[in-house]
Amino acid sequence: MKTKMTLTLAAGLMATTAVAMDKEVNFASWGGSYQEAQSKALLEPAAENTGIKINQESYGGMSDVRLQVSSGQVTLDIVVSGSGGAARAAAEGLLEPLDYDVIDVSTFYPGLYTDYCVGGDVFSTVFAYNTDTFGDAGPKTWADFWDVEKFPGTRAYRGKVSGALEPALLADGVDPAEVYNVLASEEGIERAIDKIRELKSHISVFWTSGAQHAQLMKDGEVDMTTGWNGRFDNAKKDGAKVSYSFDGALLDYDCFAIPKGAPNKDTAMMLLNEISKPEYQDDLPKYITYGPTNKAAYETGVIDAATAASLPSSPENAAKQVPVSLEWYGEWETIAAEMYQEMLTE
């Protein structure tokens, strides 16, 4: 009798662990207030509703995925990536194609999902300034960001090429619609980099992560920086004297991808479907000012009109911005990155 009970117990235990093992997903994102927002709005509720155990970590981007895939030691199931990084990774064959029979994107904005990556949020690369230094008369355009006489003070700028060249050309007077045409040659890239060279002696930090540029503004280490809008709003909530606008900003989106050979691919696909639903996406703006990629998220009544107007993807804000060109990044990023590093080491 006793043995039998132990056996049943053991079998039962094994069954539950088997289910738990099945329903487990390793999720990697960018850390900081961004991942915290994802965790609160998407992952924690989804874990509760689906019973999937989600192990979160922060990671260094698609290079980590490349490392895992090429060494055959894939541990990550879902990774968050910028749209450009995901497009390149997909071209390299590092990602699993997404199954849109499982993931429902019928109410998504067109263009915010690809075969390999499903959009999670819409964000902007903006310039932010210290309101203690500049008061209400802060810089309004990229040309102002470059104008060290009218707006004296230290700057921070991105240490990587992505999102770094477009502002330079806009400051140089290039029409927003023409930016990527101008950048489509080494001369064009050099023109943008020359413009950054002009400003370089005033750039005290070249930042490498979103958490870093938010901290730089919080500490008052620099008076102006480029960066991602949501991070600045969260820094402001924490007491940072920071403000930004969407004028001339770069409109981009983050997306979720599954690395090739992910151990829990099917569960990951299910989880992606879950967190793409409007009832999850409509919670994200509560924690970070990034817009939903699922149109239906605006219709649940959770996002009020004032919040909607503050999001990068609101029609009014979107009209002021330059949408990031994935094609350009696919073709030119490597060359541009090398040229950018040239400028950094001078």
Partner 1 sequence: MAATDINTGLNAAGLRTDERMERLKLFGLASPALLLVLVILVIPVGWLFYVSFIGADGSFSMENYERMIKRKSYARIFQTTFEISLLTTGLCILIGYPLAYFMSQLPNKWANLCLITVLLPFWTSLLVRTYAWLVLLQKKGLVNDWGISLGLWEEPIKIVHNMNGTLIGMVHIMLPFLILPVYGAMRAIDRDYLKAASNLGASPARAFWTVFFPLSTPGLFAGSLMVFVLCLGFFVTPAVLGGGKVIMVSMKIVSNIELFVNWGAASALGVVLLVLTVIVLWIASRFLKLEQMTGGGH
Closer CB to partner 1, 98 or 156, in the complex: 156
Question: Considering the rule CB under 8 A, would residue 341 count as an interface residue with partner 1?
Answer: yes
Residues, the chain: 346
Distance of alpha carbon 299 from alpha carbon 308, whole angstroms: 11
**From the list 62, 105, 174, 242, which residue makes contact with partner 1 (rule: CB under 8 A)?**
62
Question: Considering the rule CB under 8 A, would residue 92 count as an interface residue with partner 1?
Answer: yes
Closer CB to partner 1, 77 or 333, in the complex: 333
**From the list 6, 17, 185, 334, which residue makes contact with partner 1 (rule: CB under 8 A)?**
334
**From the list 24, 172, 221, 247, which residue makes contact with partner 1 (rule: CB under 8 A)?**
221
Tokens describing residue 42: 């998407």
Residues 270/102, Cβ–Cβ less than 8 Å: yes
| Per-residue x/- track, 102-121, partner 1 (CB under 8 A) | --------------------
**From the list 22, 115, 299, 342, which residue makes contact with partner 1 (rule: CB under 8 A)?**
342
Site for partner 1 in 41-60 (CB under 8 A): 60
Question: Considering the rule CB under 8 A, would residue 148 count as an interface residue with partner 1?
Answer: no
**From the list 136, 149, 304, 346, which residue makes contact with partner 1 (rule: CB under 8 A)?**
346
Q: What is the DSSP string of 151-194?
A: S-S-EEEESSSTTTHHHHHHHTT--GGGHHHHHSSHHHHHHHHH
Which residues pair with residue 252 across a beta bridge? Answer: 123
CB of 191 to partner 1, least distance (A): 18
Question: Considering the rule CB under 8 A, would residue 338 count as an interface residue with partner 1?
Answer: yes
Site for partner 1 in 232-291 (CB under 8 A): none
CB of 205 to partner 1, least distance (A): 4
Distance of alpha carbon 158 from alpha carbon 128, whole angstroms: 13
How many beta carbons lie within 10 A of that of residue 231, not counting itself?
Answer: 30
Which region among 6-14, 104-112, 305-313, 334-342 touches partner 1 (by CB under 8 A)? 334-342
CB of 199 to partner 1, least distance (A): 13
Distance of alpha carbon 245 from alpha carbon 238, whole angstroms: 19
CB of 202 to partner 1, least distance (A): 12
Give CA separation, 211 vs 39, 60, 216, 283, in Å: 16, 13, 9, 21
Taking every pair of Cα atoms in the chain, the longest distance, rounded to a whole number of angstroms, is: 88
Residues 212/221, Cβ–Cβ less than 8 Å: no
CB of 82 to partner 1, least distance (A): 12
Give CA separation, 345 vs 142, 195, 196, 203, in Å: 24, 16, 13, 13
| DSSP 8-class letter at 195 | H
CB of 220 to partner 1, least distance (A): 5
Q: Name which of 123, 125, 126, 124 is nearest 141 in CA terms.
A: 126
CB of 340 to partner 1, least distance (A): 9
The helix/strand/coil state of 323 is: strand
Geometric angle at alpha carbon 235, from 278 and 241, rounded to 5°: 135
Question: Considering the rule CB under 8 A, would residue 208 count as an interface residue with partner 1?
Answer: yes
Distance of alpha carbon 261 from alpha carbon 263, whole angstroms: 6
Question: Considering the rule CB under 8 A, would residue 152 count as an interface residue with partner 1?
Answer: no
Closer CB to partner 1, 176 or 220, in the complex: 220
Which region among 35-43, 112-120, 176-184, 333-341 touches partner 1 (by CB under 8 A)? 333-341
**From the list 207, 253, 287, 290, which residue makes contact with partner 1 (rule: CB under 8 A)?**
207
Closer CB to partner 1, 69 or 126, in the complex: 69
**Type and span of the H or E element at 39:** none
Distance of alpha carbon 15 from alpha carbon 114, whole angstroms: 37
Q: Which positions touch partner 1 (CB under 8 A)?
A: 60-63, 66-67, 70, 92, 154, 159-160, 204-208, 219-221, 333-334, 337-338, 341-342, 344-346
